[in-house]
Amino acid sequence: MGDSYSEFLKQLEDRSRVKQERFMNHIATRLKRPRVLEKPEHPFRGAPDFWHAFTWSEEERIEHFTANFQNAGGHVIRAADMQEASILIAEQAHELEAKHIIRQDESALAELGLEKALPDASIYAWNSNAQEQWKARAAEADMGVVMADYAAAYTGSVTVLSAPNKGRSVSLLPTMLVVLIPLYRLKTRLGEILGQFDQTQTPREQLPSGIHFISGPSRSADIENDLTIGVHGPGQVLAILVG
Amino acid sequence: MSAAQSKPRDTVKERAELALNNAFLRKAVKYTTEKLRGGKQQAAEEHGNWEAWRERGRQIRLHTIAHLDYYLQEFAENARANGVHVHVADTGAEAVEIALAIAEQKRARSAVKSKSMVTEELHLNQALEGIGVEAIETDLGEYIIQLAGEAPSHIIIPAIHKNRQQIAELLSKDAGETLPPDTTVLAGFVRKKLREKFLEADLGITGCNFAIAESGSMVLFENEGNARMVTTVPETQITFMGMERIIPSWSDLEVMATLLPRSATGQKLTVYMSGITGPKRQEDGDGPEEMHIIIIDNGRSLQLGDPEFQELLNCIRCGACLNACPVYRHIGGHAYGGTYSGPIGAVLTPALQGNVAEWDDIANASSLCGACYEACPVKIPLHDMLVYLRRRKVEQGYSPTLERWAMKGYAAVMSSSVKLQRTLKLGKLGQKLVVRDGVIKARIGPLEGWNRYRHTPGLPEQSFRERWETLEPDIRGSLQEMDAGMKERMQQLVRSRSEGNENQGKRDSSEGESIRSDAPTAYSGKRNSDRVDREESGVNKGKGGGNHG
């Protein structure tokens, strides 16, 4: 591709810019007013006011997260600390006879010491060298291990953000997904997490490319309404609440 | 069937007949829609304050559409800054042209697609096949109907009309071996097969549930994980986005994320909700290297500035109106003959195409019961819009000649009591030929359709008007004189009501302002007062029966 392709993209870009101006003017004309160029006052931004006051205690958050996540077909267990979490993960891996495991390249996950606990399994840390075919490593993995960046109790969801050391594939391609949730990252409402990505909190250029909310195992009801688990994403999801 | 064509070849009646003769389809659609509808009602109730959330959702959508040029421009600029190639297209054909040019330049051989209604509008798959690019639908239901060569019949459950045996046969042909009609086996086969397709695909094609103006991000809701695959594995991502899919901020996404999954399937949140902000960062290990977003008008701007139809652009494509609709439940999605089915399809299809004339028949296949409005998470008055459609059809002279004459005749007869009396007398004479045991059973003339399922009562020996002369004194005689105090109070009430409707008027204008400040096209006061009444009745119902759906 090379030069001719970038030339092609540039042509598209030039055309698009001219066109875009006409497109927006057309919208304004249809709305029977001049173009709006100043940011309009948005009096209805976000959830209704009463919702912002809604908050659960830590015990309630744990209880609701667990109930919601399990209702969606996921599993939830608690661990006092990362050490106990490490033992629980190793147990799961034994039970599943997991031969290939992939984890995000985070220090908290390195400290789990899975390599030592599971000497027979091949364990990879995402994107830890430039030669590996990382998507293929994730696709063949029996188990993917990630840290949750946030979690919301009200909907039973975990949030994972992409980064060079945190692949989107690790929470998507393996057969089973293990998510570690430090309790202090477990919020009540979805809005407490979404609000963090607003421009006042995180400027656009600092947003990760992928922000993924995961609320249980991959599912489909497309064949006669019969629930199937693990159609494309992980069919088994284990959330470990740590703390 | 080749649904989704600009001109339906046959009438809704003929298409519905096909559905009505298919017992499985009717049963399946009924079962699924009832399940989804029940799930939605339960989810809404459990969440609580549903009316307040609906109202908030509506306000956000109204505000965004009223300032669409600003937010769309903001989105496009931010997406560009994130490294996305942004394109705009007035028509579906233009959008397809852009996508094909990219595919050709890339020498792409295959594309994996996640569910997208807008690409159904554009017939993208056929176009891609035309230049030798294999286009694979990866949503389980979409994959099944693609194998069958059909169009989706439900916005959330596209293969609602296929049974397990039919699906097993389709997938067996695909596998080259016989697969048992077992859901786990069938889904397992699709997982394995599509894994290979994901990994070898050159292009990932998606729709867009919401686009966030402030950060230039796009958001996808799904349960299977195929949309995540499409936006993670292939090197190039192309996203098709209807130009109205925009919301201002991530905070606003909380409202949409509260309304959409609950209304669609009764879930608190879909299994996956993904916000994609630009292609992969340079050091990232996965995600698309190159990302395109094509913003599409394709008839949407026709609704802008149209006071009767602008609110159509508020739609968040949840399918709740389909599940609530008694007509949809009987005839299924294909009978609507367009990309979008159900009440929303009945209005959206002619609105997008701007041709009221050819699509009017589906507007008549509605009971106008308003269940769609009650179900809608952003309160689009679909049943009113169906009436507007019918009116426009009449105004533009597209009503059948017979109907026009019948209406003229009706007007002439009803405008004079003498004429009405004469006509009734004539009718009583004439009906002697057809009335048996007080009813007309013959399927003749205008009664043909009606009498197929029921009988028409004949005119009675003595009409109400004829009985009135003796009836009135009877009634008067039996009435007791009203208590003087009560009479005074009632008269007072009537007087205050006729004094210019003051309270009512006030309510109208405040509601009117809030709409007007958002939508520059002023709605008439009449409409607003309708709206207020409806809202109140909706709330009351909610209190009484706990049923908002």
Give the mutation candidate from B277, B281, B300, B514 for the A interface (greatest A CB count, under 10 A). B277
Answer yes or no: are the C-beta atoms of B293 and B6 closer than 8 Å: no
Average pLDDT over every residue of A54-79: 97
Closest CA to B98 of B308, B238, B198, B245: B238
Task: Give residue B110's pLDDT.
Answer: 97
Question: Does any CB of chain B come closer than 8 Å to the CB of residue A24?
Answer: yes
Average pLDDT over every residue of B63-70: 97
Q: Which span out of B56-60, B145-149, B189-193 was modeled with the highest average pLDDT? A: B56-60
Instruction: Name the least confident of A95-99, A221-225, B169-173.
Output: A221-225
Q: For A6, name the nearest residue in chain B, comparing CA atoms only.
A: B105
Residue B77 has pLDDT above 70, yes or no: yes
Share of chain A above pLDDT 90, in %: 94
Answer yes or no: are the C-beta atoms of A237 and A75 closer than 8 Å: yes
A102 contacts on B by Cβ (under 8 Å): none
Gap between the terminal Cα atoms of chain A? 52
Question: Does any CB of chain A come closer than 8 Å to the CB of residue B36?
Answer: no
Task: Give residue B236's pLDDT.
Answer: 98
Question: What is the DSSP code (8-state) at residue B423?
Answer: H
Task: Give residue B3's pLDDT.
Answer: 38
The alpha helices in B265-381, defined as continuous H runs, are 320-324, 326-331, 342-353, 356-364, 371-375
Average pLDDT over every residue of B134-157: 90
Q: What was the ipTM of the complex prediction?
A: 0.97
Residue B542 has pLDDT above 60, yes or no: no
In single-letter form, the type of residue at position B276 comes to: I
Question: Does any CB of chain B come closer than 8 Å to the CB of residue A223?
Answer: yes
Task: Give residue B530's pLDDT.
Answer: 38
Instruction: Name the least confident of A117-126, B16-25, B80-89, B170-179.
Output: B16-25
Question: Does any CB of chain A come closer than 8 Å to the CB of residue B185?
Answer: no
Task: Give residue B490's pLDDT.
Answer: 86
Q: For A228, name the nearest residue in chain B, comparing CA atoms only.
A: B184
B224 contacts on A by Cβ (under 8 Å): 218-220, 231-233
Residue B306 has pLDDT above 90, yes or no: yes
pLDDT in tens, B483-518: 888 888 888 888 887 775 544 433 333 333 333 333
Closest CA to B212 of A41, A194, A158, A192: A194
B225 contacts on A by Cβ (under 8 Å): 172, 218, 231-234
Task: Give residue B358's pLDDT.
Answer: 61
A27: pLDDT confidence band, cut at 50, 70 and 90?
very high
Average pLDDT over every residue of A124-143: 94
Residue A83 has pLDDT above 50, yes or no: yes
A223: pLDDT confidence band, cut at 50, 70 and 90?
confident
**A residues 139..168 contacting B (CB < 8 A):** 139, 154-157, 162-164, 167-168
Of B72, B157, B249, the CB nearest to A222: B157
Task: Give residue A146's pLDDT.
Answer: 98
**A residues 30..49 contacting B (CB < 8 A):** 30-33, 35-40, 42-48
Average pLDDT over every residue of B166-186: 94
Average pLDDT over every residue of A208-233: 93
Answer yes or no: are the C-beta atoms of B76 and B295 closer than 8 Å: yes
Task: Give residue B357's pLDDT.
Answer: 65
Average pLDDT over every residue of B392-402: 81
Residue B243 has pLDDT above 50, yes or no: yes
The full DSSP string for A159-227 is: EEE-BTTB-SGGGTSSSEEEEEEEGGGEES-HHHHHGGGSTTTS-GGGS-SEEEEE-SS-EEEEETTEE
Is there a contact between B287 and A168 if contact means CB atoms under 8 Å apart? yes
Residue B6 has pLDDT above 50, yes or no: no
Mean pLDDT over each residue of chain B, to the nearest integer: 85
B429 vs B113, higher pLDDT: B113
